[in-house]
Amino acid sequence: MFDRLTDRLDSVFRQLRGQGKITEKALDESLREIRRALLEADVNFKVAKAFLARVREAAVGQQVMKSLTPGQQVIKIVHSELVQLLGATAEPVRLSPHPPTVILLVGLQGSGKTTMAAKLALHFKSQGRLPFLVAADTYRPAAVDQLRTLGADIGVPVYGPEDAGSTNPVDICRDGLEKGRVTNRSLVLLDTAGRLSIDEEMMAELTQIKQHAAPHETLFIADAMLGQDAVETASRFHEQLPFDGIVLTKMDGDARGGAALSVREVTGAPIKFIGTGEKVDALEAFHPERIASRILGMGDVMSLVEKAEAAFDKEQAQSMEEKLRKQRFTFDDFRSQLQAVRRMGPLDQILGMIPGAGKALAGQQVDESALGQVEAIISSMTSDERTRPQILNGSRRRRIAKGSGTSVQDVNRLVKQFGAMQKMMKQMSKPSRRGRGGPKMPSLPVSG
């Protein structure tokens, strides 16, 4: 997502960076280029225009900061205006102090409501909450089964009518909410039926559900691949049935990102989450600052850090760092890091967030099962072997291979790789070397 826009802006900025002094003419030339890049990214015309007016005003009125070149200042302004455009600060779903929090999902047919209901359920479940899914889609015969299957996959209970055809959605929501309450669920997600376009029947149905279920949050689910059409629909929908937030799905298929860049300004409603794939864990909380940095090519370091923090506990991370510095990294440490990395989610997604890594790894398969093998080998070692790998002679290696269901070659390879890794870590812990061959990061924009 945003790939093309990032490339275009990058070339504008490269020119700007090189200039010691910027004339108004040069500034306008750059702004024209940025405008073209935005329109190419399918950003709403009015939104692009207003955005550039704000950038221009800020740039012209700006005092010359000694620490920054004029080009860098413009980049910084574009970054902070981009953050504003995307909503300034992250607005998470507000959870009710009196559970269950009720969340209503609405949107057009095929926008990804049912998938998103499951994604959100998994998201909240992993935060230790007790989600409950309610299938209030009586429009499509298989809708209830679809949600049941997803619920079973993620281990979240689902309420649905026995006979969807003859039950009305308002009653389903009422019964589902009741079921959620008596079973002490802390969060109830109501999945509703979509239509091909905004029609009276759907709006009447949703308005009724909203009145009766009194949700704490109503989320509008929009397919980002539809670009400006999605923005237009969101805006019309919002006028008839006000919602609290927007969730953009299929961001993985939207290389341009126009919907994400326009929908906040057009509707006034915040984007709360984005869906980035068909799988139930392909969900990201929406952070304007991070998305802006991602668009400007800085990679989504913050999202990565957050995922890592959720997976590693802080103390563990600190003691690991200590060990790295003292070069006492063992197979035990290796194994627990491996486990933590796997908790972060699918590997290819994690790698995609590292600046520069996305492109470098494009098209390469990341083999998750190999990690399982590595874990098995390490688990077959004695604790002495894990702390002092140098004692791993031939007969020990044969025993380990047998115990882990692998071959001696597999064990040899791992021991060799581990040795190489220790060496690399030794180098990384020397500050003078850090970052030399690492991902390139522009010196600007700075945060704030």
Ligand X SMILES: Nc1nc2c(ncn2[C@@H]2O[C@H](COP(=O)(O)OP(=O)(O)OP(=O)(O)O)[C@@H](O)[C@H]2O)c(=O)[nH]1
- The residue ranges that bind ligand X (CB under 6 A) are 107, 109-115, 137, 140, 143, 193-194, 249-250, 252-253, 275-278, 282
SS3 270: coil
Contact at 8 Å (CB) between 280 and 126?
no
> In the complex, what is the shortest distance from the CB of residue 126 to ligand X, in angstroms, rounded to a whole number?
18
Distances (CA, A) of 298 to 295, 344, 416: 7, 21, 34
Tokens matching residue 312: 């590693």
- Residue 445, contacted partner among ligand X, Mg ion, none, CB below 5-8 A by kind: none
Q: Which of 145, 306 has the CB closer to Mg ion? A: 145
Q: Which of 233, 330 has the CB closer to ligand X? A: 233
Q: Which of 113, 185 has the CB closer to Mg ion? A: 113
> What is the spatial distance between Cα 400 and Cα 380, in angstroms, rounded to a whole number?
5
Opening angle at CA 14, ends 11 and 16, nearest 5: 115
Helices (H) and strands (E) in the chain, counts: 20, 8
> What is the spatial distance between Cα 306 and Cα 315, in angstroms, rounded to a whole number?
15
> In the complex, what is the shortest distance from the CB of residue 337 to Mg ion, in angstroms, rounded to a whole number?
39
Distances (CA, A) of 25 to 21, 50, 52, 360: 11, 19, 15, 37
> In the complex, what is the shortest distance from the CB of residue 118 to Mg ion, in angstroms, rounded to a whole number?
10
> In the complex, what is the shortest distance from the CB of residue 233 to ligand X, in angstroms, rounded to a whole number?
13
> What is the spatial distance between Cα 272 and Cα 291, in angstroms, rounded to a whole number?
12
Q: Which of 113, 264 has the CB closer to Mg ion? A: 113
- Residue 278, contacted partner among Mg ion, ligand X, none, CB below 5-8 A by kind: ligand X
- Residue 281, contacted partner among ligand X, Mg ion, none, CB below 5-8 A by kind: none
> In the complex, what is the shortest distance from the CB of residue 158 to ligand X, in angstroms, rounded to a whole number?
14
| Sequence-separated (6 or more) residues with CB below 8 Å from residue 115 | 150, 249, 275, 278, 280
> In the complex, what is the shortest distance from the CB of residue 330 to ligand X, in angstroms, rounded to a whole number?
40
- Residue 155, contacted partner among ligand X, Mg ion, none, CB below 5-8 A by kind: none
Q: Which of 253, 419 has the CB closer to ligand X? A: 253
Opening angle at CA 67, ends 61 and 68, nearest 5: 55
Q: Which of 109, 422 has the CB closer to ligand X? A: 109
Q: Residue for token digits 């949050």?
A: 217
Partners of 405 in beta bridges: none
- Residue 299, contacted partner among ligand X, Mg ion, none, CB below 5-8 A by kind: none
Q: Which of 74, 117 has the CB closer to ligand X? A: 117
* Interaction site with Mg ion (CB under 5 A): 113-114
- Residue 115, contacted partner among ligand X, Mg ion, none, CB below 5-8 A by kind: ligand X
> What is the spatial distance between Cα 164 and Cα 148, in angstroms, rounded to a whole number?
13
> In the complex, what is the shortest distance from the CB of residue 52 to ligand X, in angstroms, rounded to a whole number?
30
